[in-house]
Chain A
Amino acid sequence: DFAMTQSPLSLPVTLGQPASISCRPGQSLVNDIANTYLTWFQQRPGQSPRRLIYKVSNRDSGVPDRFSGSGSGTDFTLNISRVEAEDVGVYYCMQGGHWPPTFGQGTRVEIK
């Protein structure tokens, strides 16, 4: 299966400061020229996953613009420009371009 490696696995952040989560697929992730299926999900405590970012850098409706996604090939990043209390939770990347779909281990974001 297509391994997805996230780092760090735990990320303590000060309110108002930026945060960055890395996701590295084991192989280059390019489905076709128009579609790289790299997705970011947020899972708040006690809740189900919520999609934040799709196809690397497209923000879902209702997602604050402090969240952004970037990257290509084997190096992808989720950035939070200024962490707020409601951002606490676990963040997962997922690849959907190579069967079967696989998730990263998750990065736990907490407030210092």
Chain B
Amino acid sequence: EVQLVESGGGLVQPGGSLRLSCAASGFTFTSYAMSWVRQAPGKGLEWVSSISHSGGSTYYADSVQGRFTISRDNSRNTLYVQMNSLRAEDTAIYYCAKEVAGFGTDFDYWGQGTLVTVSS
């Protein structure tokens, strides 16, 4: 059974940093690209970032480019996103999602999400 378990969310002040993790199991992690998708309170879904199966290629939404860094540790089956210079508009539930093929084409499994709140 595929499982994606996010952690690392919490309350952070504007300008602060946070690192989210996503522990994957139930599939061959090293074979699939992975992504982060977020959902602001009461709002819709927004793609944030994707990373290739090897970690060699990364992609970002314009809204987080230069502030967020996606990475993965294939030896630990874990996906990460380092979030710096956080803003109030980054407040959201962050989901990790498993890609089906390529980047951003289709997400077949999602984690339960972790809430990030940016507020003073």
Contacts and interface: CB of A to CB of B under 8 A. Distances in A.
Contacts of A99: 59, 103-104
Interface stretch (B9-17, B21-29, B82-90, B108-116): B108-116
Given A49-B45, A100-B47, A39 B107 contact: yes
Interface in A54-112: 54-55, 60, 92, 94, 96-97, 99-106
Given A48-B113, A49-B110, A54-B100, A96 B44 contact: no
Contacts of A92: 44-45
Interface residues of B, number: 20
Contacts, number: 57
Nearest to A47: B112
A97 B105 contact: yes
Interface string B90-120: 0000010000101111111111110000000
Given A48-B95, A100-B59, A54 B45 contact: no
B105 A96 contact: yes
Contact of B110 (A50, A96, A105): A50
Interface residues of A, number: 25
Contacts of B47: 100-103
Query: Chain A contact residues: over half helix, strand or loop, or mixed?
Result: loop
A39 B104 CA distance: 11
B114 to A, nearest CB: 11
Interface string B37-67: 0000000111100000000000101000000
Q: In the A-B complex, list the 4 residue pairs whose CB atoms are closest, starting with the nearest.
A: A101-B104, A96-B105, A103-B45, A48-B110
